[in-house]
Each structure stands twice: as C-alpha cells, then as structure tokens.
C-alpha cells in the first residue's frame, strides 16, 4: 500500500549529489579576467598591434566554432566563452608582428581541427591554443620566430648588445661572457621589458592572474608548482644560466599557470597533476638545453606531449575505492 506522506522516504538519484555554483561560462570568464593583466602588459610593451591581433584570434575562433556547430547540427556553444579563451590564449602566444591572416588561420585550426573535429569542449585530447601555435610554428617558422624590435640592452663587462632575439634564443646560441645574473635583467624579465610573445613576457602580470585563479579555485597549485619547480631544479643542477632566468623567460609561467592547467587535457587527480607538471617541466628543459635542438623553447611541445599521456596518468593515479579488494 502506498503511503500518503512521501516525506518519510528517501529520494534516490544518480550522481552528482552535490552541486557547485561554478559553470563552464563562469570558469571561462574567470580565466579571461585572469589573462587581462597579461594582455594589458602586451599592449603596453608592443602597442595596439597586439590588441588587434588578439581581436583577430578571438573573432576567428568564435566564427569557426559557430560554423562548425551549425554544420554538425549541434547546439551553439559560443555562449560558454570557451572559444574566447582559446582565441585569447592563442594570441598571447604569438609574436606581436605576426601577419593577421596567419593569426586568423591559427584560430580556425584551433577551433575547427583541434576542438570541434573531436566533438567540442570536453572531448579534445590536446590544448587547442597550443596545438594551433605548434601548427603555426611548424608551418611558418620565420614569422613565428621574428620578434618586434625592442630597446632592451644586455650588458656585462665588455659584452654589450642590443638585440631583437629573445633571452631563450640567446641562451641557445650561447652568449659567452654575458652575466645572466645581473639584477637589471631579472627585473626586466619579471616586469616584461623583453622580446617575446604578446602575453608571455610579463611574469608579474601572469602571476597576478594565476593568483586570481587560485583564489577563485579555478585551478589548484599542483601543476604550476610542479612545472615551475622542475624547471628551476633542472636549471639549478644544469648550471650556466641562473634558474630564475629559465623560469621567467619564454612561456614557462603562462604555460604552467594557464595552459597546462586546462581541465580537459590535464589529469584530474592530485598525484596525476604533480606527475603531469613535472613531466612538462622536464621536457621543456630537455628541449631548451639540447645542444643540437632547433628550438630554444619547449613549453608548447612539452604540454602537448603530456596531454597525450593524460589518459594513462589518470588510469594509474586513480584512487582505490574504500573496501575494494585488489584482484
């Protein structure tokens, strides 16, 4: 006989049983807010050209996602702001003087090939912005390694050079007699008064954004600390160039805090995140310090390689359910 008062009975439902206020659009908005300091520094150091290039990447990503979703007859996902984040991250990883059409092509590749081809947000195995950057780097090596002329000067004793190369390029070539530990250089690297991609030059701006994401609990400390810590320790034992130069140069900070922490392409367990971060840092330094290597930077390739290993990391670091007996 069915009881009259159903309040005396438990209501059973499938998981998840606990819900948070976070949503995809809210998380993406937090990432956009966190990247604004880096974008502002990029515009400050490289001019309005950097802002125009950023707008181009974002527009290309939005249009491509909209057309792909329409062609696949699926619901439109532009409102979740993930395409804006992809375009923004791609732009921040590009040289300020890159031709506009190349930036647009990168946005199309990121959304059309690296994301929507796999089914959209949550199904892509690789970070779309980094995959697009790698595609542009391999396809257009010259423009992707041509940097805006800057007035920053390197000086150490009798060695003095004003150059348009990045610090990592100089390390790769070998600047004999140069004092990499000078305080002025470390300061420039920290603030962003160096050559490089639009959003990677200012470690200060990136760390402010990372602190915001940690405060909002969008990311955890595991991957950034493991990534940067591995780079620091490797450089310390390798010698030659101070560890801080490696940490503050190139895409180390933006990669550790904003690229490697991507929800879809990074491990979900705490131990897995530590392994992932250490792997990214190790591969980055192996590429940077390889004497016969062609690339002075290895952040993009290291994260993409570890993206491919994420399913295996998740499998081997998943916690054992309470009471489960190992067969």
Neighbours of 253 (CB within 10 A): 29
Find, among 41, 143, 45, the residue nearest to 95 by Cα. 143
Of 94, 118, 144, which residue sits at a domain end? 144
Burial of 118 (0-12, 13-18, 19+ CB in 10 A): middle
Whether residues 40 and 180 share a domain: the answer is: no
CA distance 184 to 178: 13
Structural domain of residue 135, as residue ranges?
Answer: 24-144
Task: Note whether 86 and 231 are same-domain residues.
Answer: no
Q: In this structure, are 178 and 302 located in the same domain?
A: yes
> Do 235 and 311 share a structural domain?
yes
Q: In total, how many domains does the chain have?
A: 2
Rounded to an integer, what distance in angstroms lies between the CA atom of residue 257 and that of residue 34?
10
Whether this prediction's pTM lies above 0.75 is answered by yes
Question: Within this chain, do residues 88 and 42 fall inside the same structural domain, yes or no?
Answer: yes
The residue from 144, 176, 203 where one domain ends is: 144
HSE value, Cβ hemisphere, 13 Å, CA-based, for 258: 34
181 and 241 fall within a common domain? yes
With CA atoms as reference, report the closest residue to 167 among 177, 178, 159. 178
DSSP conformation class of 156: E
pLDDT per residue as tens, the chain (327 positions):
555 555 555 666 666 556 666 678 899 999 999 999 999 999 988 888 999 999 999 999 999 999 988 888 888 878 888 999 999 999 999 999 899 999 999 999 999 999 888 888 888 899 999 999 999 999 998 888 887 755 444 443 333 444 456 777 777 666 555 566 666 778 888 888 888 889 888 999 999 999 999 999 999 999 999 999 999 999 998 877 888 888 988 889 999 999 999 989 999 999 999 999 999 999 999 998 887 767 778 899 999 999 999 999 999 988 877 666 666
What pLDDT does 3 receive?
A: 56
Query: What pLDDT does 207 receive?
Result: 95
Same domain, 269 and 292: yes
Residue 7 lies in a domain: no
**End-of-domain residue from the set 82, 111, 144:** 144
Shared domain check, 174 and 290: yes
Strands (E), the chain: 153-156, 159-162
123 and 230 co-located in one domain:
no
Same domain? 59 vs 140: yes
Provide CB contacts within 8 A for 127, sequence distance 6+: 114, 259, 262, 265, 303, 304, 307
138 & 166 share domain? no
């Amino acid at each position: 006989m069915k009881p009259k008062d159903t309040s005396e009975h438990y209501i059973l439902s499938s998981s998840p049983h606990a819900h948070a206020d976070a949503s995809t659009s809210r998380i993406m908005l937090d990432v956009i807010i966190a990247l604004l300091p880096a974008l502002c520094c990029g515009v400050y150091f490289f001019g309005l050209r950097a802002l125009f290039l950023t707008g181009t990447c974002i527009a290309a990503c939005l249009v491509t996602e909209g057309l792909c979703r329409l062609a696949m007859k699926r619901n439109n996902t532009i409102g979740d702001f993930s395409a804006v984040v992809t375009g923004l991250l791609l732009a921040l990883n590009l040289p300020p003087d890159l031709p506009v059409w190349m930036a647009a092509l990168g946005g199309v590749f990121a959304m059309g090939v690296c994301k929507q081809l796999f089914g959209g947000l949550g199904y892509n195995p690789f970070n779309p912005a980094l995959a697009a950057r790698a595609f542009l780097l391999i396809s257009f090596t010259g423009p992707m390694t041509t940097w805006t002329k800057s007035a920053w000067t390197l000086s150490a004793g009798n060695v003095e050079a004003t150059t348009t190369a990045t610090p990592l390029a100089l390390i790769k070539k070998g600047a004999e007699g140069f004092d990499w530990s000078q305080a002025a250089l470390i300061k420039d690297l920290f603030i962003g008064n160096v050559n490089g991609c639009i959003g990677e030059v200012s470690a200060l701006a990136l760390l402010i954004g990372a602190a915001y994401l940690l405060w909002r609990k969008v990311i955890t400390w595991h991957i950034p600390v493991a990534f940067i810590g591995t780079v620091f320790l490797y450089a310390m034992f390798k010698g030659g160039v101070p560890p801080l130069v490696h940490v503050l140069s190139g895409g180390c900070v933006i990669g550790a805090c904003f690229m490697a922490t991507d929800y879809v392409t990074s491990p979900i367990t705490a131990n897995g995140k530590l392994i992932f971060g250490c792997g990214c840092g190790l591969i980055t330094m192996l590429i940077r310090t390889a004497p016969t290597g062609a690339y002075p930077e290895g952040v993009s390739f290291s994260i993409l390689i570890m993206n491919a290993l994420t399913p295996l990391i998740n499998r081997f670091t998943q916690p054992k359910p309470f009471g489960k007996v190992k067969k």
